[in-house]
Amino acid sequence: MPSPKPSSSLSAQKLSRLLRLSQMLSCDHFTTKEALAQRLEVSEKTVQRDITALITYFGMPIDISNQGYILTERCFPIPTTTLTERELFALLIAEKTLSEYRGTPFDGALTGAFYKLTALLDDDVQLDLSRRGEAFHIDFDTARPVNAEVMQAVSEAYSGKKTLVMDYYSASRDSSERRQVDIYKILNQGGDWYVIGHCHKRQEVRVFALSRMRNAAVFDTDYVIPDDFDMEEYLGKSFAIERGERVYDVAIWFDEYQARWIRERTWQESQRIEEGEDGSLTTHFQVSGLREVLRWVLSYGEHVKVLSPPELVVEVQRNVQALRGRYGNM
């Protein structure tokens, strides 16, 4: 029987149903599809899909015939266990975050692993998991789509320590060129996928977005990740994922209104906050590259003012003037 594709929607309710279905099967007699559908209050097609999942993900010895389904081995239940409140909460969050990996090579493995882990729960916990799951909604930032073949090539290149070859699109130049990269790290930043690696063309470590890769393939050239490469150190002076040639000392003032939200997060590793007597604050940090900082500052409109460096002040002024030009005749 061919392996099914993992479900695009994995729910606690479905997992609970799989456990109940496994308990309805017998070694002594065939159980018909119609009978199972009636007891579970689902369609016969759903029963058929669930039987396939039990065989594929849990290796249940189920024989299928015109008479229905029967276990070919006795005493083959899916083991059950219980969860603490904290573990239950973590499981709910895991279920909700699986959607972040749809369409990647990790999709099938994660879905299968989640099936197996949650099948260990007993009926009471499963039903409770289903009810509690309705309370959670996790809305990720919109991520740039990644071609599944690109993700697969990246994964294979890193696993085999082989050079990745691809056509890479540069948004600043609005053009693509062939690149060869030895991948040091694969990371997800803000929902988007990147690789950090040695660029053969630039002869230095660079960051590449997977969403901008096309025609990716694994090249038969081995490489070794340098012992002294440290991702935390490499990204230490970055803002978001941007790195530049020069390190800047940044100081940005936020008024009392916006400061309430700025205090809640660490925006950059080197961040230092200076509180104002009026409720405002000034945040200080060091970054290499200012483009991402500029976009961040502009998103706060009238509630922010750049104090330094002068280069960032000039860019903000230029953007303000451009906006005035666009809205001047309104």
Q: If pLDDT is split at 50, 70 and 90, which confidence band does 179 have? A: very high
Residues 77 and 167 in one domain: no
Mean pLDDT, all residues of the chain: 81
Residues making up the chain, counted from first to last: 330
Query: Do 202 and 291 have their domain in common?
Result: no
| Domain count across the chain | 3
Question: Does residue 265 surpass a pLDDT of 50?
Answer: yes
Domain of 60, CATH number, reads: 1.10.10.10
Task: Check whether 147 has a pLDDT greater than 70.
Answer: yes
312: pLDDT strictly greater than 80: yes
- Beta-strand ranges (E) seen in 260-319 are 272-275, 281-288, 304-308
User: pLDDT at position 171, please?
Assistant: 81
Buried b (16+ CB within 10 A) or exposed e, 267-279: ebeeeeeeeeeee
What pLDDT is stored for residue 2 in this prediction? 42
pLDDT of 19 strictly over 90? no
* DSSP characters over 206-227: EEEEGGGEEEEEEEEEE----T
The domain boundary, picked from 226, 259, 280, lies at 226
Can you give the CATH number for the domain in which 194 is found? 2.30.30
Same domain, 75 and 161: no
What is each CA distance from 46 to 69, 84, 95, 322, in whole angstroms?
A: 14, 31, 21, 58
CA–CA distance, 107 with 120 (Å, rounded to integer): 21
Q: Which domain holds residue 125?
A: 1-140
Which residue type is seen at 206? R
- Summarize pLDDT for 243-263 with one digit per residue, the tens: 777 899 999 999 999 999 999
Q: What local confidence, expressed as pLDDT, does residue 328 receive? A: 74
The SS3 assignment for 160 reads helix
* Mean pLDDT score, 185-202: 89
Q: What is the pLDDT of residue 253?
A: 97
- Statement to judge: residues 277 and 298 lie in one domain: yes
In a domain, 189, yes or no: yes
234 domain-assigned: no
pLDDT digits (tens, 9 = 90+) for 266-286: 898 889 999 999 999 999 999
What is the model's pTM? 0.57
Do 156 and 99 share a domain, yes or no? no
Residue that finishes a domain, picked among 140, 158, 173: 140
Same domain, residue pair 184 and 222 = yes
